[in-house]
Amino acid sequence: MPAIVIGRDFDDLKKYGEKGAIFFGKHIVGTGEDAHLTSPVLIDVLRPHVIAICGKRGQGKSYSMMIFLEELSKLPDEIRDNLCALVVDTQGIFWTMKSPNEQQISLLNEWGLKPRGFDVHVLIPEGQKEIFDKADVNYDDVFYIMPNELTPEDWLNVFELSPIETEGIVLQRALGKLMKDKKEYTIDDIINYLKEEKGFEREKLVVENYLLAAKQWGVFGPRKQTVSDLILQPGKMTILDVSITPQNVRSLVVGLLSKQILEERIKARRKEEAAKIEEIKIKRTPMCWILVDEAHNFVPAKGKTPSSDIFSKIVKEGRQPGITTLFATQRPNKLHPDVLAQCDLVISYRLTAKADIDALRAIMQTYVLFDIATYFNELPRVKGAGLILDDNSERIYRIRSRPRQSWHAGSSPVAI
């Protein structure tokens, strides 16, 4: 049966056929009891995309993120070496990708797939090593950032301070002076500069407390790490375990890394173009996938986090430098409208909240025949049954995602 290739335009389809399109699932034909699986559904990974995965809790969002990662890992070298990925793991569940899926062997059999583990690189915050060690959780490496990588606005955002309240003002003043004097600095340097500010003793004490607390986050390190070494390596699949990091600090770290990835890719793109013109070969910086679970916490519809701005920028400008973003959320309505508006691919498992269905309805515009609620109602009641909205072909497909080959740790526990 011929495959359905999603997210690929006609010219690319003619040129590449099914090459560089990953196996995501199968098309569902018929409704309710009569529903059955037909053609394979493939998704383009040669070009950058903005992808959203939504659905109620327990419907397969995190599971689907890992289907992408497994498939990226399985690509032939000549494609995989031009790609890499960063997965933001808010629950500490994705390291299990190293082990084979022994839980769903019969399902895998039905699909003609074999359980297997994959080579992924798990990063944890440097200052949390002891906690991970004590819990016997394996990781491959640590990451950290430098206080001087944060802008004054980042500090205000992460401490949830307003730039016009006194605490915000003294912090900005101290940082302003410090940044003039030093290129690299520690949190203690910030505290010292803060203390030198005149007056506002109470407010200074409050900010000092925030800064002392920041030392305990475990994300600050001794020198600058570069995303080129850490993440942007040919075929490297990185999992950033921020499961025990507070949410505003997660956004800060993820925002900083994403910003650096964008900057590196913009530089690389320029070099690639120059090399093309001069017809010389250069070492390529791989295009990067950034996959964010529980994404409504990173780019929320209401309010701002330290990663809001950079994600709004990447969804608008990231295609040119070759960045694909994938946002998984159970509340599409709570995701910033910029993100949904920029998505060219939406994978949606069952949703029930009216506001969330409305959010999807709004981005499906005019190209569907029936109301989206009808499509949901017609889905068979099996795990992984969902819809794919393809902006490229302006079509909607009912699909079932394929079973994972590696172990999934996200399922809810049972009491029996």
Residues that bind Mg ion (CB under 5 A): 61-62
Report what 95 binds from Mg ion, ligand ADP, none; CB cut-off 5-8 Å by kind.
none
Least spacing, CB of residue 231 vs ligand ADP, in Å: 23
Q: Which of residues 97-126 bind ligand ADP (CB under 6 A)?
A: 107
Report what 332 binds from ligand ADP, Mg ion, none; CB cut-off 5-8 Å by kind.
none
401 touching ligand ADP, by CB under 6 A: yes
Residues touching ligand ADP, count (CB under 6 A):
16
Is the Cβ of residue 47 or residue 350 nearer to ligand ADP in the bound state?
350
Q: Which of residues 37-96 bind ligand ADP (CB under 6 A)?
A: 55, 57-63
Is the Cβ of residue 247 or residue 411 nearer to ligand ADP in the bound state?
411
Q: Which of residues 348-387 bind ligand ADP (CB under 6 A)?
A: 383-384
Least spacing, CB of residue 107 vs ligand ADP, in Å: 6
286 touching ligand ADP, by CB under 6 A: no
Is the Cβ of residue 100 or residue 384 nearer to ligand ADP in the bound state?
384
Least spacing, CB of residue 294 vs Mg ion, in Å: 7
Q: Which of 54, 88, 83 is nearest to 71 (CA)?
A: 83
Q: Can you give the three-state secondary structure of the chain, one letter per residue?
A: CCCEEECCCHHHHHHHCCCCEEEEEEEEECCHHHCEEEEEEEEECCCCCEEEEECCCCCCHHHHHHHHHHHHHHCCHHHHCCEEEEEEECCCCHHHHHCECCCCHHHHHHCCCCCCCCCCEEEEEHHHHHHHHHCCCCCCEEECECHHHCCHHHHHHHHCCCCCCHHHHHHHHHHHHHHHHCCCCCHHHHHHHHHHCCCCHHHHHHHHHHHHHHHCCCCECCCCCCHHHHCCCCCCEEEEECCCCCHHHHHHHHHHHHHHHHHHHHHHHHHHHHHHHHCCCCCCCCEEEEEECCHHHCCECCCCCCCHHHHHHHHHHCCCCCEEEEEEECCHHHECHHHHHHCCEEEEECCCCHHHHHHHHHHHCCCCCCCHHHHHHCCCCCCCEEEEEECCCCEEEEEEECCCCECCCCCCCCCC
Report what 20 binds from Mg ion, ligand ADP, none; CB cut-off 5-8 Å by kind.
none
Report what 398 binds from ligand ADP, Mg ion, none; CB cut-off 5-8 Å by kind.
none
Report what 63 binds from Mg ion, ligand ADP, none; CB cut-off 5-8 Å by kind.
ligand ADP
Least spacing, CB of residue 188 vs Mg ion, in Å: 38
Is the Cβ of residue 107 or residue 301 nearer to ligand ADP in the bound state?
107
Contacting range for ligand ADP; rule: CB under 6 A; set: 71-79, 136-144, 388-396, 400-408:
400-408
Least spacing, CB of residue 64 vs ligand ADP, in Å: 7
Is the Cβ of residue 294 or residue 344 nearer to Mg ion in the bound state?
294
Positions in the binding site for ligand ADP (CB under 6 A)? 55, 57-63, 107, 383-384, 401, 403, 408, 410-411
